[in-house]
């Protein structure tokens, strides 16, 4: 005859096995998600206006990781270990919008545009970029709306920039003076990139050394991926309004739009 105590003991073992299987299944799911984020693509949020007008504050972008290969920088952001050489590596093209680990703080993700490749000679003269002794194409394109972190907006001059090879993108360029708009020629060393924000007066990029809060010459090993598409966008300025007005901040025209 089975006593109640023996019955409880007999039921406990299957219950423990069920819990163990559930925990294993959860661990496998988390592992699969981590592998997918490391190998394929990962979304990131744009917190600043340094890439306006291409990227706006409040955009959510998708960085695809396989175009440039993999290094420890490709791992999810919460995994922060020293950089390594890339495997299956490939260089970006001039004009690519890239996501990378900040050389000054590997736990931060930044986004800029690749302007110079290894071996390129880069200079900035009166706000215009020069590559290998020639000025890039620059054509006036009217005025654009420059948004600050607090939601304030101002009109600034907008230009169409054409890089060697013919790739074009819009930039904001309000000033042509000062150290950010006048940089002596440098040569991009092997294994590095020269990157810039499209908002030329509001971007701590390769024109600014790491010791001063910029990117400096970006190691290729710090690349995370290439930005091709926006997943969505929300205008942060509406956060100061009533909750029921927040949906009006959705920029539906930017959902699933291409990034060039």
* Residues labelled as active-site residues: 50, 112
**DSSP category for residue 208:** S
Per residue in 76-100, is it b (16+ CB within 10 Å) or e — as a string? eeeeeeeeeebeeeebbebbbbbbb
Question: Are 181 and 126 spatial neighbours (Cβ–Cβ below 8 Å)?
Answer: yes
Question: Are 44 and 109 spatial neighbours (Cβ–Cβ below 8 Å)?
Answer: yes
Rounded CA-CA distance 153/144 in Å is: 10
What six digits make up the tokens of 175?
Answer: 């000033």
Residues 6 or more apart whose CB falls under 8 angstroms from that of 197 comprise 50, 51, 112, 113, 203, 204, 205
Q: Which of 198, 244, 190 is nearest to 217 (CA)?
A: 190
**CA dist 195 → 114, 118, 251 (Å):** 4, 12, 27
Alpha helices in the chain (DSSP H): 4-39
The length of the chain, given as a count of residues: 260
The three-state secondary structure class of 257 is coil
Preceding omega of 147 cis (within 30 degrees of 0): no
Question: Are 27 and 88 spatial neighbours (Cβ–Cβ below 8 Å)?
Answer: no
């Amino acid at each position: 005859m089975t006593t109640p105590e023996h019955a409880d003991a007999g039921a406990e073992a299957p219950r423990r096995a069920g819990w163990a299987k559930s925990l294993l299944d959860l661990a496998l799911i988390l592992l699969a998600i981590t592998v997918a984020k490391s190998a394929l693509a990962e979304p990131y949020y744009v917190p600043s206006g340094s890439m306006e007008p291409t990227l706006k504050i409040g955009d959510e972008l998708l960085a695809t990781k396989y175009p440039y290969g993999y290094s420890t920088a490709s791992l999810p952001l919460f995994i922060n270990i020293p950089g390594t050489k890339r495997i299956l590596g490939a260089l970006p093209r001039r004009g690519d919008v890239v996501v990378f680990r900040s050389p000054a703080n590997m736990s931060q993700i930044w986004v800029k545009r690749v302007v110079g490749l290894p071996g390129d000679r880069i200079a900035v003269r009166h706000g215009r970029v020069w590559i290998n002794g020639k000025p890039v194409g620059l054509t006036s394109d009217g005025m654009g709306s420059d948004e600050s972190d607090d939601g304030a907006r101002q009109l600034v001059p907008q230009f169409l920039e054409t890089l060697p090879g013919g790739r074009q993108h819009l930039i904001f360029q309000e000033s042509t003076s000062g150290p950010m708009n006048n940089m002596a020629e440098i040569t991009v060393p092997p294994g590095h990139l020269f990157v810039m924000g499209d908002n030329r007066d509001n971007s701590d990029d390769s024109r600014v050394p790491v010791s001063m809060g910029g990117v400096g010459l970006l190691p290729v090993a710090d690349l995370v991926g290439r930005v091709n598409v926006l997943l969505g966008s929300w205008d942060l300025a509406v956060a100061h309004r009533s909750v029921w007005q927040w949906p009006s901040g959705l920029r539906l025209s930017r959902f699933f739009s291409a990034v060039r």
